Amino acid sequence: MSAKTPLMINLNLPKWKAGSVLEIHTLLTNLCATPCTSQGAETRPASTAKRVQLQFERPFGSSASLSPNTSSHRKQNQSPGQPCWGSRQPAEASGNTQTTSGPSDTPHTPCVQMRDQALRYRSIHTRLMEMVLTLQQTVEDHIVRLTTRPQQRDLALEEQWHGQAIREQEALLGRLLFQIVSFLPAGAPGDQSVQPPCTSTDSRGDVGGGQPVQANRQTGQMFYEESDFENTVISYDLSNRGIDISALYHLSFRDYDTYQGNKYHKDKNTLGYINLGTSENKLCTDLLAERLSQSDMTYVDEDLLQYTDWRGQPFLRKEVARFLTFYCKTPKPLDPENVVILNGCSAVFSALAMVLCDPGEAFLVPTPSYGGFAFSTHLYAKVKLVPVHLESQVTEANGYPFQLTVDKLEHALLRAKIEGKKVRGLVLINPQNPLGDVYSQDSMMEYLEFAKKYNLHVIVDEMYMLSVFDEAITFHSVLSMKSLPDPNKTHVIWGASKDFCISGFRFGALYTHNREVASAMSCFGYLHSISGIAQYKLRQLLQDREWIDNIYLPSYHFRLQEAHRYVTRKLKASKVPFLNRGSGLYVWINLKQYLDPCTFEEELLLHRRFLDHKLILSPGKTFMCKEPGWFRLVFAARPHLLRNAMRRFQQVLVEQAQERTVKQLEDAMKEEVSTSQPEAPASPALRKS
């Protein structure tokens, strides 16, 4: 290979087949045979260095970990004058820039640069190479699994055994691949700490089920973090921050990108992905398309083609203030000067994190909670989230599943202080995502009083305020309260994406009584403003109260009820426990009974099985849920889409149950064989003694 030829390693494994695994095996063999450095080799600048890029397109998870003796492998690859892979010399592994202390005709590399390279790579060479060699051996074992089929009379049992064996091997390969990447400079360290056991739930007659849970991870881990890291880029073109952003994006939006490239269509692509994981409202897109096509929407003023007020066009801020005054039932009209418009509620939340917190400070977030908060706070602001863990089990202190109490807030705040984290605010979602709970006025007042006691800001996300479809439930906006404990530290976010099925408009609004916060937020319009034409259409839509009250909302709530009724009926038929709430676009379902053991690794494997059937759900780990086995299922889809999705859903559960039954039978047979075998007689020497 030429010295200037980049080495690009792309591990794209959507399906594990013998051919793709053989390619990995060949690649690793070549990688292991490449020396770390050579005496007299030409020193090249970083611009001509070989680059290694590892990309994993599927999630991984396994508790397996191997640490074999690899000294013989290192000795085989070591030639005279060359240090082995475990050498302490400042050389770069895996085909990166080779450096040497020997004489050279090329310009001398500055000592500082060589020292920095040495410090960057010295500590990882030995363990990294051991992992590469371990992975190579594991791939060889996997090839044997794929190409060898045991002779059994029962072909159905053979298929099930073979599929389970391959699935376990895939998980092991995924963990090993991540461990290798995690030791490179761009990677993140692994974490194999302990997760408290999850509890079974049985309340209101709709959440019960589950099984004892095997402890396996640390409380408070967010997303499929270290052990499931499936896209890491090792690049000399990106900064460390750029690498972090790229990895975070692929980690957060892997499933969504897959869906965008292969969407289900009832006529054009019936085998495409159905997305019930993203909370996107598609129930009334026909009504919105018709309304946005009417003549009053087509007007284009010349001013709309120019730069806008960074806070949002005055006419839209005025209409948003009127809209919230009416639908939030505020005690007095809201002030348009306290409104800031940006391109989406995630942009609003991210900007709020920037202006309220310094890097490293934190927000309290009751969990399970919307997973996008972690992405939004980390991307720019580098703000941490402190989870306030809610339990599904009903106790004296927990009146209903996942109940938020002030005691839990106090405990989480105390834990954060002990850990040295400075908490600046509390984040609430009302109606709650993904639970669907609607906070009462009394509960909300307790949370606000808690925040005032500790001088915390409160961010209330009311994205789903018009998506309450149960007539027995009344939504109370925080803006409807006559007296807020601390108005200057209470901030409300609302957008039209969920309630009006126009997520593509990218519209989010902040209402705050704090003029300093509003002023600081305004500057983000320079980066996150909305086009003037879109703002005009939004104004026309929000001011049409007759259409909203008489046509849209009645139809919308009826369709929500029908979709919710259909999905929950299917869940009951499959004996799947769920939270039966009357708001939002989703239902929080309990699939613990399909996990054996009940761990986050098994949750991830079940998630992968849904993906294999071209169905996307959101696993509980992405919502920072303390207990494995929970999933969010979005039902705000058109009937034909929902029917196909639930058919795939039920098929996955049948397969999962069958696989679990086979596994239990195999375990029982092994136990019976082990107990039935007679003990070996003692040797004569032992009898004499």
DSSP string, 597-651: SBSHHHHHHHHHHHHHTTEE-EEGGGGT-SSTTEEEEE--S-HHHHHHHHHHHHH
154 φψ region: left (φ > 0), alpha (ψ -120 to 50), beta (else): beta
Alpha-carbon torsion, ordered 553, 555, 557, 561, to 10 deg:
180
- Write out the DSSP string of 198-264: P-----TTTS-----B---S-TT--SS-GGG--EEE--SSS-HHHHHHHHHHHHHHHHHHHHHHSB-
Residue 660: pLDDT band with limits 50, 70, 90: confident
* Side chain identity, residue 295: S
Provide long-range contacts, Cβ within 8 A and 24+ apart, for 106-115. 106/42, 106/43, 108/43, 109/43, 109/45, 114/90, 115/90
90, pLDDT greater than 70: no
Q: What integer pLDDT is reported at residue 115 of this predicted model?
A: 45
Alpha-carbon torsion, ordered 377, 381, 386, 391, to 10 deg:
0
Residue 166: pLDDT band with limits 50, 70, 90: low
Q: Any idea which of 51-55, 387-391, 486-490 has the lowest mean pLDDT?
A: 51-55
Calculate mean pLDDT across residues 373-399.
91
What is the chain's percent helix, strand, coil content, to nearest 5? 45, 10, 45
Residue 274: pLDDT band with limits 50, 70, 90: very high
Q: What integer pLDDT is reported at residue 41 of this predicted model?
A: 38
Among 226, 232, 204, residue whose Cα is nearest residue 51: 232
Q: Is the pTM of this model over 0.85?
A: no
140, pLDDT greater than 90: no
Calculate mean pLDDT across residues 641-646.
97
In sequence order, the 6+-apart residues with CB closer than 8 A to the CB of 675 are: none
Q: Where are the beta strands (DSSP E) in 473-556?
A: 490-495, 508-512
Among 377, 484, 479, residue whose Cα is nearest residue 430: 479
Q: Any idea which of 105-109, 364-368, 410-414, 448-452 has the lowest mean pLDDT?
A: 105-109
Residue 32: pLDDT band with limits 50, 70, 90: low
* Residue showing tokens 């149950």: 657
682, pLDDT greater than 70: no
* Residue showing tokens 């038929």: 573
Please name the CATH architecture into which domain 296-550 falls. 3-Layer(aba) Sandwich (3.40)
Percent pLDDT > 90 in the chain is 54
- Write out the DSSP string of 407-448: HHHHHHHHHHHHTT--EEEEEEESS-TTT-----HHHHHHHH
Enter the DSSP assignment of 498: T
Q: Which alpha helices (H) appear in 122-154, and where do they start and end? A: 125-147
Beta carbons of 586 and 632 less than 8 angstroms apart: yes
Q: When comparing pLDDT for 308 and 638, which is higher?
A: 638
Partnered with residue 366 across adjacent β-strands are 388
Q: When comparing pLDDT for 435 and 96, which is higher?
A: 435
Q: When comparing pLDDT for 509 and 678, which is higher?
A: 509
Q: Which two tokens stand for residue 266?
A: 């009832």
Q: What integer pLDDT is reported at residue 42 of this predicted model?
A: 39
Q: When comparing pLDDT for 10 and 456, which is higher?
A: 456
Beta carbons of 638 and 560 less than 8 angstroms apart: no
Q: Measured between alpha carbons, how far is 75 from 388 in angstroms, rounded to an integer?
A: 51
Enter the DSSP assignment of 578: B
Calculate mean pLDDT across residues 553-578.
97
Beta carbons of 637 and 615 less than 8 angstroms apart: no
Calculate mean pLDDT across residues 308-319.
94
Give the burial string for 202-228 (b: 16+ CB within 10 Å, else e). bbeebbbbbeebbebbeebbbbbbbbb
Q: Any idea which of 30-39, 122-131, 446-455, 678-687 has the lowest mean pLDDT?
A: 30-39
- The correct answer on CATH 3.90.1150.10 for the domain covering 263-284+551-666 is yes
The angle subtended at Cα 397 by Cα 393 and Cα 399, nearest 5°, is: 60
Q: What integer pLDDT is reported at residue 167 of this predicted model?
A: 62
92, pLDDT greater than 60: no
Q: When comparing pLDDT for 98 and 179, which is higher?
A: 179
Q: Measured between alpha carbons, how far is 501 from 292 in angstroms, rounded to an integer?
A: 12
Q: Any idea which of 14-23, 238-247, 515-524 has the lowest mean pLDDT?
A: 14-23
DSSP β-ladder status, 423-429 and 362-367: parallel
619, pLDDT greater than 80: yes
Domain definitions of the chain by residue range: 18-101+109-185, 263-284+551-666, 296-550
Q: Identify the sign of the CA torsion 44, 47, 48, 51.
A: positive
Using CA atoms, how far residue 102 sits from 4, 37, 98, 106, 116, in Å, is: 21, 11, 12, 11, 18
Residue 108: pLDDT band with limits 50, 70, 90: very low
